[in-house]
Structure 1
Amino acid sequence: MVRVNSIAIRQRCSTASIAARVRLFGIATCAVFGVFYLVVHLTPLSQDPSSLHTDWKTPNRHYPFSQKPKDVVLAAVDLPISAQRNATGFLRFVPTLGGLATGLSAYNQRAQHKWIGWAGIVADNLTEPDKRDMDEFSHGFCSSILWPVFTDGEVTGNASFNYSADWRAYQTVNTMFLDKILNVTDAESSVWIHDFQLMLLPAMLRQRRPRSRIGFFFHIPFPAPKRFVTLSWGKEIMEGLLGADLLGFQIVDFAKNFLETVAFYGLGRVNNVTISILNHDRRVRVGHFPIGIDYEKFSTAQEKVGVVRMDDVERLKKMNLGRKIILTVDRLDPAKALLERVDAFQSLLKQHSRFRGKVSLFMVVVPHRLEVKRFRNLGITLQKQIDSVNRDFGDPQWQPITLLYQFVPFDKLVTLYQLADVAFIAPWRDGMNLVAKEYLASNERGVLVLSRSAGAARDLTEAVLVDVRQPASMVNGLLQALTMPAEEARRRAGQMRKYLQRTDVHAWGDGFVRTLMERGL
């Protein structure tokens, strides 16, 4: 893959000059419509690309096909890297946050599919209406309407909120992706579309490429019908999704929610796994495909990179000699229940005073969607809440909570995983949560405290499962994890590590593409 922590472009750049520089890092650009899109070919830096998948007639664990899939193209708003522009106009490229970019880029290291996406900034030659479209698409319809509905959050507006304009922007950006796909595919190409930002795209593409195989995968939860139908354009969105041949979800519950929503709108005849579309001679198949991680990358990281010496990690080690460490790793997001986890740790210290001075909470929070007011406000509230706990319980020798509010590169992240005695992963709702899996792959002795509302809880059954809506459950989960005998902790972690090794990200991606290519679909 493109191994990048931060690539700075140290001059003000036009879209064309950006494209030229990006090519230096193994990324080919696609013509843009004024928005900086990329078609990415990811090449593993540690391997000779010519050694990968040279014999397509011999099935293997990564591509169990009789022949190479023809021209599979990935489409996702996120790319493995994002462009950021600072106040002086300089650009830099940083790894993109979130499970979609993490999981899909790990899979594509070996699969080597084309990937169409957005670098996260608007080009400098955009017209003002086009810039407004991108803002209304990203910060309006996706972040402020769709994201809360799909994650059981609160849909919030303000005086300048324009739902109709945001919906039009959503349609416009989906059409932009359609145009890019048409430029790089032919009538026989297969396209795998990802996540909630592109739900209109399958039907758009079906109209223009009726013979293409079209897959769609939801990385986030799919809500129950009673939640979904609160969307004013719910039926149009469902019709967009039903342009796909195969729809994949993280867990069975999300697939069932989708099928029930199809039935609610009367859009097809539904059985257990297929939908017959009314008035069309088509079937749409629905399944669950739990995404995995690059298990080998995390499980062997210690021997490859050793214990990384970085200021924050060294400070953590020195501050907590002889203490147990609880670790959280999240994006800044109301769906992650960050405040509730601080409350749970505070309650643990109140109710079980023997842990004061003996346990520290280390919170990695990566800034995210700061253009959206409720995300910014969450960051401010979180810092105040942490400061309050540290004032009430800390002393000169012990700070109860340490907040690292920044992106953490891979080497440092793995070191934190290895140092932590407990990982406290407790979102309100999550499609999967790859951090839980990364922690277990990195730490063979660690205890995972995991929200029942995360998709990962369906498979990681040896974790200490908690209910985020019940504060006592959170406190009791931490108590169980901190007092668990070392032998039991290793046994539990070992069972889950075996599962993660069998169901890694390559098995996930290969399984989805294989199902998409099946003749009977």
Structure 2
Amino acid sequence: MRIIFRFGGIAMLVAAIVILAVLPFATSFVEQWSRRDVELRSRLVFNSVRDQVSGLLARNDAQKVSALFERIASDERVLAIGYCDGQELRFPSRNMPPSFSCAEAARSDSESFSIVRNQDHNVLVSSFPLNAGGRRGHLVVLHDLSYAEQRGGEARNYLFLALAGVAFGAAALAAMIAAIIMRRWLASIRQAVEHARSGNAQPAVEENIMPLGQEIRDVLHELEASRRTIDAAHTDWNPATLRAALSNELSGSEVIVVSNREPYIHNRTESGEIALQIPASGLVSALEPVVRACGGTWVAHGSGTADRETVDVNDRVPVPPSHPSYTLRRVWLTEEEQDGYYYGAANEGLWPLCHIAFVRPVFREADWQFYRSVNEKFAQAIVAEAKREDPIILVQDYHFALLPRMIRDRLPRATIVTFWHIPWPNAETFGICPWREEIIDGLLGSSILGFHTQAHCNNFMDAVDSYVESRIDREKDSVFFGGEETLIRPYPISIEWPPTALEGQKPVEECRRIVRERLGLSPDMRIGVGIERFDYTKGILDRMQAIDVLLTENPDWHGNFAFVQVAAPTRSKLQNYRILQEEAEALARDINQRHGGDGYEPIKLLIRHHEPDEVFELFRAADLCIVSSLHDGMNLVAKEFVAARDDEQGVLILSAFAGASRELSEALIVNPYNAHAMSEAINRALTMPQPEQRERMRLMRDQVKERNVYRWAGQMLLAASRLRKQQRIRRLIARGRKRAAANA
């Protein structure tokens, strides 16, 4: 009852505010209408006596003018009348206020009206120009406006009573409706709470009560979960906090990850044994710890020579092998499919298109047909793995631009989060792609589409705006396409913290000794490292040329500085990658011949795959690390180097064209196309005092620690959780409207 009275009181208060707001306007309207009526009467008086007054004034017949004015002033509405000859008031009627003078009246060449104050009421002065015997004057007619004010007050009172009656009736009706609604709501809530306490999964809710039973139970559960929800901005993210966040926000949800590269590869060795390999991939190193924390299923291409021998009849294998925590589902591709989809459309087409590294993209229709069919094959595998109609599906990278739409068509209630791990070019560059509309349509099948930086998000929305019919909401950073909304968000990817590869590492000084002995370097040799795949986007040749300039312009470093370039062969089927490796080998030989001697080689080119613990050992032994990407989405090597340096020493030289430069601003930021500037940065790094190194490294380590891979995953998954709740609310509203329409 208190709520009902409060509801009725609020309704009355709103009505009172409306009345108080309307009354002044109503009173003003009545007063203005009354004044216009008086002005009209003044005109009638003037028009009826104008000629007569003009003639009498021309003959200067004062007696007759005064008699005429007294007769006119006998009208109960006319207060007084007179004639203004300049500033002189002549022939005033007896009721003319003593205080009135011609100076108070507004006079002009046409009729005019003004209001003057007489004692305690207003007087309307109507002034009409009049020509009398060649002299111009003004006939002034005064009307008392007190009756108009009285009429306005009466109108205000009547209107107040009328509005008050209507408001009281409306408030009473609203209170009655509120009482009925609240009674039903309370009954439904009581029943839901009772069943929530008893643990009844399907409470029996009567048909004549609002269908809130199960919904209220869910809301109660979510309220409790929200109380424990982890704030993404102020959390020390690690596997435990990520699992807690998922438990609170996505309890009971199914999580499926899909990528081209699998996190574990089984290969058969020359001796016939099966060996396990963890691929050197930024995507895998970033995402595999996340899937461990989330559980669920990872769908990927089975590329290992022994992959088929290690799966069950459903092509599944539990991983990691030592402590299985999720399922790897392998998808098989023929060599022809691999050539067309992976090497052709993805890596000869989309990769150079997005990286803008001055390698011309190759677009073949046959490759695109394979790309489309492989995306279709993965869509079928995901649907087969899905145990619910609304799973959360994390789609990874440029190999699956069409996959989100294909999943959406099969699982319309799925929450699809797609992350594009490489840059997205500007709209003009993307426009050369023959399949631009199909790619955009495929990606807009996502619920959330993530990129590394806001600039990449902006580029994507510009491309959407240029090439497909859609509605873009720049404030929300979302795209409405085909009746559905896709959120476009920046999610800077990172690495796990602390890195697993750091476990068991020897002290930094011991790492320095081991690496120098292994590479045949003197104990006091200064070392720089670069570690990545042989890829033309990484700027490997550019950093070698910078080393050449350094040794040319600073001969003191001869014999005192060596650069270790680790480069794992990749995509060797593609000509551009083979040529790059050949050019790197030739350039290293040339630099070593010109600047080396007596066993000294300024560049150590190590062309093989290195395991994570080997990579971290090199990082810890180095004085500097060069990341000279010509164009990169993020670059995790830069963050791994920072994470490896728990001694807070070493200098990171980082390309301005890597996404990591937006976060690791304490690195020495360089333009990799400028060999001279890079050589100066290398020289500065080699001569940088230890306190400055420590200050820079400490800030970067704090950044990588706070913004680690678990935070990256947590942000995306919590965004998916919020989106799922919003979608459920929309469905509940739609269901309520449908039931209300059926009962009407």
Q: The TM-score by the shorter chain falls in which range?
A: 0.7 to 0.9
Greater shift in the superposed pair: 312-321 or 475-484 = 312-321
Query: CA deviation digits over 1:468-491, x for unaligned, max 9?
Result: 122222122212211211110110
Match of residue 77, structure 1, among 260, 263, 273: 260
Distance 1:249 1:162 in 2: 24
Change (3 A) 1:171 1:274: same
Higher helix proportion (structure 1 or 2): 2
CA contact (8 A) 1:274 1:285 kept: yes
Q: Which residue matches 2:554? A: 352
Paired residue type of 2:480: I
CA contact (8 A) 1:305 1:411 kept: no
Match of 1:187, SS state, is coil
Q: Which residue matches 1:180? A: 381
**Higher RCO, Cα 8 Å, sep 6+:** 1
**1:170 is aligned to 2:170:** no
Paired residue type of 2:393: V
Deviation at 1:59, TM superposition (A): 4.3
Distance 2:257 2:568 in 1: 26
Match of residue 632, structure 2, among 413, 430, 434: 430
Paired residue type of 2:294: A
Q: Which residue matches 1:372? A: 574
Change (3 A) 1:91 1:380: farther
Distance 1:192 1:508 in 2: 13
Write the mapping of 1:474-493 to structure 2, written as runs, cut at 5 A.
Answer: 474-493=678-697
Change (3 A) 1:480 1:308: closer
Q: Which residue matches 2:480? A: 277
Distance 1:165 1:315 in 2: 51
Match of residue 290, structure 2, among 107, 117, 139: 107
Match of residue 381, structure 1, among 553, 577, 583: 583
Deviation at 1:87, TM superposition (A): 8.2
Distance 1:142 1:114 in 2: 24
Deviation at 1:78, TM superposition (A): 1.1
TM-score, length-normalised on structure 1?
0.82
Q: Which residue matches 2:427? A: 225
Larger Rg: 2
Match of 1:326, SS state, is strand
Distance 1:456 1:279 in 2: 35
Aligned residues: 461
CA contact (8 A) 2:375 2:400 kept: yes
Distance 1:357 1:404 in 2: 19
Paired residue type of 1:143: N
TM-score, length-normalised on structure 2?
0.59
Q: Which residue matches 1:520? A: 726
Write the mapping of 1:390-469 to structure 2, written as runs, cut at 5 A.
Answer: 390-443=592-645, 444-469=648-673
Change (3 A) 1:418 1:388: same
Match of residue 134, structure 1, among 322, 334, 338: 338
Distance 2:569 2:271 in 1: 20
Q: Which residue matches 2:128? A: none
Query: Which ranges of structure 1 fall in alignment gaps of 5 or more residues?
Result: 1-54
Match of 1:336, SS state, is coil
Distance 1:445 1:306 in 2: 10
Paired residue type of 2:680: N
Match of 2:641, SS state, is helix
Q: Which residue matches 2:301? A: 118
Match of 1:343, SS state, is helix
Paired residue type of 1:233: W
Q: Which residue matches 2:222? A: none
Distance 2:272 2:226 in 1: 46
Deviation at 1:357, TM superposition (A): 1.3
Distance 1:129 1:508 in 2: 30
Query: CA deviation digits over 1:221-254, x for unaligned, max 9?
Result: 1111111111100110000000001001111111
Distance 2:621 2:559 in 1: 17
Distance 2:539 2:468 in 1: 35
Distance 1:248 1:225 in 2: 17
Match of 1:515, SS state, is helix
CA contact (8 A) 1:337 1:428 kept: yes
Change (3 A) 1:326 1:298: farther
Distance 2:582 2:472 in 1: 46
Q: Which residue matches 2:245? A: 64
Change (3 A) 1:508 1:474: same
Query: CA deviation digits over 1:1-43, x for unaligned, max 9?
Result: xxxxxxxxxxxxxxxxxxxxxxxxxxxxxxxxxxxxxxxxxxx
Match of residue 149, structure 1, among 349, 353, 370: 353
Deviation at 1:92, TM superposition (A): 4.3
Query: CA deviation digits over 1:340-372, x for unaligned, max 9?
Result: 110000010001111111111011111111111
Greater shift in the superposed pair: 269-278 or 208-217 = 269-278
Paired residue type of 1:68: L
Query: Which ranges of structure 2 fall in alignment gaps of 5 or more residues?
Result: 1-224, 231-240, 310-331, 728-744
Change (3 A) 1:232 1:84: farther
Distance 2:349 2:274 in 1: 29
Q: Which residue matches 2:497? A: 295
Change (3 A) 1:155 1:91: farther
Deviation at 1:309, TM superposition (A): 8.0
Distance 2:382 2:616 in 1: 36
Paired residue type of 1:114: T
Q: Which residue matches 1:14? A: none
**1:508 is aligned to 2:691:** no
Distance 1:124 1:293 in 2: 30
Deviation at 1:111, TM superposition (A): 2.1
Deviation at 1:299, TM superposition (A): 8.5
CA contact (8 A) 1:145 1:155 kept: no
Distance 1:451 1:355 in 2: 23
